């Protein structure tokens, strides 16, 4: 996968889950620029931010990537925990009906037994 494609995927994930307003100004600026100029090199992105080298641009994009990875891990962990504790009973089962796979809790959540 092209690095710019991965960066764009990471930035889109951050925008959808957190929004750019939750980022500091430097990270938000580079995120917006990467989305606006997906084909730009790190050097070109740095020049658009002012006279900056590739290093700070690369550092900020790595920070965004790490943040996106953390969001992905959190989402996967949440899905794993939900799939272990929740089960949707087949249609037609009545509330309170006991079954070897699931039972309806008082909170209306169905849990594995």
pLDDT of residue 77: 83
Residue 84: pLDDT band (50, 70, 90) is low
The model's pLDDT over 24-79, given as tens digits with 9 standing for 90+, comes to 999 999 999 999 999 999 999 999 998 778 999 999 999 999 999 999 999 888 87
Beta partners for residue 19, in sequence order: none
Type and span of the H or E element at 67? helix 54-85
Q: Would you tell me the crossing angle of helices 54-85 and 25-36 to the nearest 10 degrees?
A: 90
Torsion of CA 28, 30, 32, 35, to 10 degrees: -140
pLDDT at 12 > cutoff 50: yes
Q: What are phi and psi of 40, to 5 degrees?
A: -70, 145
Q: Residues of the chain with pLDDT > 70: what percent? A: 71
């Amino acid at each position: 996968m092209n690095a710019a494609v991965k960066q764009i995927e990471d930035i889109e994930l951050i925008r959808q889950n957190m929004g750019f307003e939750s980022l500091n100004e430097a990270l938000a600026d580079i995120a917006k620029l990467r989305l606006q100029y997906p084909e730009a090199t790190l050097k070109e992105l740095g020049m658009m931010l002012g006279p900056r080298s590739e290093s700070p641009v690369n550092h900020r994009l790595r920070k965004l990537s790490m943040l996106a990875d953390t969001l992905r891990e959190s989402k996967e962990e949440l899905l794993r925990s939900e799939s272990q504790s929740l089960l949707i009973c087949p249609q037609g089962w009545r509330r309170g009906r006991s079954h070897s796979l699931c039972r309806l809790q008082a909170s209306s959540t169905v849990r594995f037994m």
